């Protein structure tokens, strides 16, 4: 490929997945558009998380519920909040 300034480039990456699916596969493009139109900033629990959580629970019988978090801090906040709500206790004891 040659740019407008006359620099020549060689594509050594090959768009990674193009070898599997070709460039701009219509089915993949349509799926991406569908997902993007459903929302790209989904910080709260959403339908995609719910479907993935159901698949995890179905796959692993020992797992009864799933809650996805963005960090360990968020996971701890959720765990502490759940424990307080379930036990109706307001005090927390932490160990290091």
User: For 9-18, what is each residue's pLDDT tens digit?
Assistant: 887 776 666 6
pLDDT band with cut points at 50, 70 and 90 for residue 88: very high
Q: What angle do CA 44, 48, 52 make, to 5 degrees?
A: 110
pLDDT for position 96: 83
- Quote the tokens at residue 15: 């768009």
pLDDT of residue 85: 94
Calpha distance 34→21 (Å, rounded): 18
- Which of 65, 29, 27, 28 has its CA nearest to residue 49? 65
pLDDT digits (tens, 9 = 90+) for 21-77: 777 789 988 998 998 888 777 777 788 889 999 999 999 999 998 888 889 999 999
**Among the listed residues 65, 41, 71, the one whose alpha carbon sits nearest the alpha carbon of residue 53:** 65
């Amino acid at each position: 490929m040659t740019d407008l300034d006359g620099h020549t480039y060689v594509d050594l990456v090959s768009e990674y997945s193009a070898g599997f699916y070709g460039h701009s596969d219509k089915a993949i493009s349509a799926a991406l558009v569908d997902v993007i139109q459903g929302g790209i900033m989904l910080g709260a629990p959403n339908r995609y998380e719910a479907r993935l959580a159901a698949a995890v629970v179905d796959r692993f019988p020992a797992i009864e519920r799933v809650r996805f978090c963005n960090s360990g801090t968020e996971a701890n906040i959720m765990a502490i909040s759940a424990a307080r709500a379930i036990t109706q206790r307001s005090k927390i004891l932490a160990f290091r």
